[in-house]
Chain A
């Protein structure tokens, strides 16, 4: 059974760096073709793709947020981290992690974690 769960702070201050962790089970990120993506959704708004990390440690980022995003993995812990620097109130959103397994689609999603940016 594949599960993913996001964790991290619910509240961050402007200019701070956000670090979120995606802890997963039911698959290994060392398996060829496996990837984990991060997606966010501001309240009442659309989904936005942020980043992806692959089994071979290839990393891909949203063009508009590339300078602020970093994604990394710890295969032994079944975890993927996302950092977003210089947080702003417009970054307030529910952040999701999701799996991609050999295809270019997101087949399993975490429940999401709401991050609010406020002083």
Chain B
């Protein structure tokens, strides 16, 4: 049961935009519009940032944007801020009630 593939790290300066990719297969990311993204600060529980590919929960900044093309989903963070420094994980439904997470990306604000 392979994890979705994410870059290990992405960095950017304050105010810049960064993109985190999440590559799966035609059995998960490519098959369903059920990709979600989670932010995790050190020692904390993950927090939902994006669901159903591009929907933002109430309270999440509109600087976070999600998209998908084929088997790859993306999280774009615009206007990068110091508080955005964290680990980010994508997740996708994989059918038959099962899910898969990505390998995780560490975002560094320079």
Contacts and interface: CB of A to CB of B under 8 A. Distances in A.
B45 A47 contact: no
Interface stretch (A17-25, A80-88, A99-107): A99-107
A60 B97 contact: yes
A107 B57 contact: yes
Interface of chain A: mostly helix, strand, loop or mixed: loop
Q: Chain B interface residue count: which class?
A: 20 to 34
B109 interface: no
Interface in B56-110: 57, 89, 91, 93, 96-104
A63 B91 contact: no
Contacts of B103: 46
A64 B57 CA distance: 31
Given A46-B104, A47-B104, A49-B98, A62 B1 contact: yes
Given A47-B46, A47-B89, A63-B1, A106 B100 contact: no
B3 interface: yes
A110 interface: yes
B99 A49 contact: yes
Chain B CB within 10 A, most for which of A37, A49, A58: A49
Interface of A: 37, 39, 45-49, 52, 58, 60-64, 96, 103-107, 109-112
19 contacts: A45-B104, A47-B38, A47-B46, A49-B99, A49-B101, A52-B97, A60-B97, A96-B45, A103-B51, A104-B36, A105-B36, A105-B52, A105-B91, A106-B36, A106-B38, A106-B46, A107-B57, A109-B47, A111-B45
Given A39-B101, A104-B93, A106-B91, 13 more contacts: A45-B104, A46-B3, A52-B99, A58-B97, A63-B98, A64-B1, A96-B45, A104-B34, A105-B34, A105-B52, A106-B38, A106-B46, A109-B47
